Amino acid sequence: MAEVRGFRGVRYVKAKVGEMDAVVSPPYDVISPDERRWYCERHPNNIVRLILPEENGDKYQNAAKCLDEWLKAGVLARDPEPSIYAIEEAFEIEGHLKKRFGFVCLMRLEDFGTGVLPHENVLAKPLEDRLNLTRATRANFDSIFCLDADGRATELIRPSTSGGPDASATDKAGVRTDLWRISDPETIRKVSDLLAGGPVVIADGHHRYSAALAYRNEMRAANGSGPDAPHEFIMVTLVSLDDEGLVILPTHRLVRNIEGFDPDAFRSRLGEFFEIEEAEPENLMQYVELLGSHTFGVHLGGRSCVIRLKPDIALEQSALKQLDVTILHSLILEKILGIGAEALAAQANLTYVRDADKAVQSVDSGEYQIALLMNPPEVEEVKAVAAAGGKMPQKSTFFYPKLLTGMVLRVME
């Protein structure tokens, strides 16, 4: 069961940094090197200096030193009493304005499968990276994005946002995030009671959560501290599974470094499992969306097709095995191309992109051999996989928008 509580959040001091727009960023794992430089140049106190610290010397100690300096200089300050923080994100998707509402709190770390349900596998390298950052800073900078199947706690705190927000920021994509600090002990107690009845699903942040578990276990082994020690908790943002602003965007696959790759032989193998229809590259994603589940777009440089799983191909009757991303990985990547779990973990053959046009262009430029376009999973599918104890392949979901990093931080007391 999920156990949540308030905390004394650490936030930017507007008198020191100016507008919040200049100091926030997306989570660390979606920031390219060029984008990191952009954020660093935008403001000397941009949060990217903490989540992606300077590589000069020990980068993790660089982050710890930077955090310490900002706290001492008053750039960051800790709120006076334990609080939860309501968050509303307003964004446009396909010409429609949407709003996603949730709140930030601390949640007790639980091993996967108990109070917390994962839905994706994790990779060793990014897990170790986030663990090293936690060891050095004893802080949570990026919030774990979690889904609450109940939703009553979210509705309970909504009236607390009737006044103006305590902080606001708009990111590069035009997504506006408003934050309200809620410190009323009775409200926090009621929220905690409501969430004690069931598990939550991790929507985004599997590596960070896994790193927090590893850090917790290290600290337990080192000093045998009690159940309320700071490392027993992690900062999360909870959103109701029924929230109308929940949006999942597709994450496409780009394939490279397939030795002796023969496009014609590849298409022939696809025909064993899929019905194949020729398509124009510029309309490829439209066809995939139109045809729906078990349909993929394939671009091989100048040649595109839409493939749909043949009706006589039997799939296991489980939430995980029925997913498009599972079919893509098991039949196309593993069975046809021979990209197994070890190669996927090493990230030797696969790159993930969100822009379908960019995926096609990357093949046409010769940088990649194949672009595989796909539809995103539905929120209910993610919930079903997690509830059944399954784990999707890496980068199966892209919940949009990403939570802004820097609105509130958690530094262990």
> Would you say residue 385 lies in a domain?
no
pTM: predicted TM-score of the whole model, two decimal places: 0.86
User: With the CA atoms of 266, 268, 273 and 279 taken in that order, what torsion angle do they form, in degrees rounded to the nearest 10?
Assistant: 80
Distances (CA, A) of 291 to 25, 280, 282, 308: 36, 15, 16, 8
Mean pLDDT of 106-116: 84
Q: How far apart are CA 313 and CA 374, in angstroms?
A: 19
Q: What is the pLDDT of residue 320?
A: 74
Q: In degrees rounded to 5, what are phi and psi of residue 388? A: -85, 0
Q: How far apart are CA 50 and CA 14, in angstroms?
A: 18
> Would you say residue 41 lies in a domain?
yes
CB 9 within 8 A of CB 83: yes
Q: Which of 199, 223, 206 is closest to 108 using CA atoms?
A: 199
Give start and end residues of each alpha helix (H) in 44-102: 48-51, 59-73
CATH number at residue 309: 3.30.1760
167 and 72 within one domain: yes
Residue 136 pLDDT level (bands cut at 50, 70, 90): very high
Is the pLDDT at 69 greater than 90, yes or no?
yes
Domain that holds residue 318: 252-375
Q: How far apart are CA 409 and CA 405, in angstroms?
A: 8
128 and 212 within one domain: yes
Q: What is the pLDDT of residues 156-204, one digit of tens each?
A: 999 999 999 999 999 999 999 999 999 999 999 999 999 986 778 888 8
Mean pLDDT of 135-149: 94
The more confidently predicted of residues 234 and 115 is: 234
Is the pLDDT at 114 greater than 80, yes or no?
no
Helix axes 59-73, 124-137, angle to 10 degrees: 40
Is the pLDDT at 119 greater than 80, yes or no?
no
Q: What is the pLDDT of residues 7-16, one digit of tens each?
A: 999 999 999 9
Is the pLDDT at 279 greater than 70, yes or no?
yes
238 and 334 within one domain: no
Mean pLDDT of 358-375: 95
Residue 224 pLDDT level (bands cut at 50, 70, 90): confident
Mean pLDDT of 348-375: 93
Instruction: Output Rg (C-alpha) for the chain, integer angstroms.
Output: 22
Residue 287 pLDDT level (bands cut at 50, 70, 90): confident
> Would you say residue 388 lies in a domain?
no
DSSP for residue 331 = I
Token duo for residue 331: 């039949």
Q: What is the pLDDT of residue 412?
A: 96
Query: What is the per-residue burial (b if ≥16 Cβ within 10 Å, else e) of 303-335?
Result: ebbbbbbeeeeeeeeebbebbbbbbbbebbbee
Within 13 Å, how many C-alpha atoms sit on residue 152's CB side? 10
Q: What is the pLDDT of residue 257?
A: 92
Is the pLDDT at 313 greater than 90, yes or no?
no
225 and 177 within one domain: yes
Mean pLDDT of 294-312: 92
Q: Which residues contact 177 (CB under 8 A, 6 or more apart)?
A: 24, 87, 88, 89, 168, 169, 170, 171, 404, 407
CB 230 within 8 A of CB 104: no
215 and 66 within one domain: yes
Q: Which of 60, 69, 63 is closest to 48 using CA atoms?
A: 63
The more confidently predicted of residues 293 and 37 is: 37
DSSP for residue 404 = P
> Would you say residue 89 lies in a domain?
yes
231 and 165 within one domain: yes
CB atoms within 10 A of CB 109: 18
> Would you say residue 135 lies in a domain?
yes
> Would you say residue 189 lies in a domain?
yes
Q: Which residues contact 284 (CB under 8 A, 6 or more apart)?
A: 297, 299, 304, 306, 356, 360, 373
Q: How far apart are CA 162 and CA 160, in angstroms?
A: 6
Helix axes 356-364, 284-291, angle to 10 degrees: 130
- In sequence order, the β-bridge partners of residue 182 are 84
Q: What is the pLDDT of residue 120?
A: 65
> Would you say residue 269 lies in a domain?
yes
Q: What is the pLDDT of residues 80-90, one digit of tens each?
A: 999 999 999 99
Mean pLDDT of 105-120: 80
Q: What is the pLDDT of residue 1?
A: 61
- In sequence order, the β-bridge partners of residue 297 are 306, 373
150 and 125 within one domain: yes
Place of tokens 């994509």: 173
Per-chain mean pLDDT for the chain: 91
273 and 139 within one domain: no
149 and 278 within one domain: no
Mean pLDDT of 129-155: 93
Q: What is the pLDDT of residues 384-393, one digit of tens each?
A: 777 777 777 7
256 and 221 within one domain: no
CB 356 within 8 A of CB 285: yes
The more confidently predicted of residues 116 and 408 is: 408
DSSP for residue 18 = -
Among 65-79, 118-132, 235-249, 357-371, whose mean pLDDT is lowest? Answer: 118-132
Q: What is the pLDDT of residue 318?
A: 74
Mean pLDDT of 277-305: 89
321 and 256 within one domain: yes
Q: What is the pLDDT of residue 381?
A: 83
> Would you say residue 393 lies in a domain?
no
- Total domain count for the chain? 2
232 and 301 within one domain: no
